[in-house]
Structure 1
Amino acid sequence: MRKWMLGLLLQAGMVVSVSAQEQAPPPSETGETGTLVVEIKPFTSEQELPAKAVEQLKSGGLEWGVRDGKVVFTMVGKQFIDFPINHMTRYGQQESLPLPAGEYRVTGIGLEMHTSFSVNKVLERGAFFNEDAVVFRIEPGKTTTVSINPVIRKDAIFGSTFYVPTLMASVRDDAGETPAVALNVRGPASIAWPQYTGPLKFVAK
């Protein structure tokens, strides 16, 4: 059971994957571009973690993708997501890429771990979508930074195996930095996996 549960969790710090070829939104009508920087800060924890867990987390990171004005960070395995999750940025590193100028919206796909022998049951009980949690603009010739601060909170440690960081996201540009927003914490606006009917959930046909 532990193996497939690890497969569900992309970013508990235990699972490392390889980036695929990037896909970007189509060019704007004017052809103007700016730069997006995704900055992943080193993870921190509200309580002391076992040395083995710390070593595993150090080699972890966050997977994300961007297409058609949407940026998605997911804690659910990308085999369940119908979106190009093709970037992997490690804790303490950053990645930049040129994007067409315009508005972009960030969605976080969270996962609360529950004990079950069924993958579908874990998704139904624990997975959820936070759509448009952060909105920002790419301005022509300028750089916009989406900064992610991964914090392992006491209430997000499941047993002694799964360490799930809370992804606190803020946007930094020439105007300053926005207040941080949690991308993967369930709230009143979250959409549970069974109720979600949008384009991000993979549905076998």
Structure 2
Amino acid sequence: MKKLILCAAVAIFGLTSIHAQDNSMNNTNDGIDFGIKAGVNFAKLTGDDVEDADGRTGIHFGIVAEIPVSDVFSIQPEVLYSQQGLQQDFEGGESKLKLDYINVPVFAKFYVAEGLAFEFGPQFGFNVSAKSEFQIEGASGEETASIESDLEDSVEAFDFGAGAGVSYKFDGGMFLQARYVLGLTSVYQGSSEGLFQDDLNNSNLSVSLGYKF
């Protein structure tokens, strides 16, 4: 798994290095931007077994690069750590499915006005942690016990999704971004003996604040 994550990161950001070297040989400067971003996830899973479940609020952070292709079009690859999953209340407590990923979105950006862009593209996700947690409450509502289990053998290591979003880049390098990504592959294979009987897919709405150097 670590090798897959490393290969993904090297492949994505290797493209920017090759692009920069090509521009250097041709004595051109297209303004490739590197940066960082962080924000909040409003994530959940889709499936018949979890229709009534709440989403998991988590965080994401990572690095980005924007590669201009023309004045109004660019490619933005990213490598992000992302907390996803869901939580669900039951009588006497709460259960959580905590799925953490290294996500590699590669989005096309179309600028429709100064600083304002619409984004579309695929996302490649690599699961790095999968746990279930049950919190049991007493009669007074206080937590009396917490049971955590490892689900790595039940959760798929790779997740493929597609998404869309909008971003606004301010003068000086700061940018705001909102994005929705829907998983197109099942991350949990349901079974009659498992935690869920039906297959589950990721669904994540994220809001980010970032800075490009």
Same-fold call, TM cutoff 0.5: no
Q: Per residue, is there more strand in 1 or in 2?
A: 2
Which has the bigger relative contact order, CA under 8 A and spacing at least 6? Answer: 1
- Which has the greater radius of gyration? 2
- TM-score computed with the length of structure 1 as normaliser: 0.31
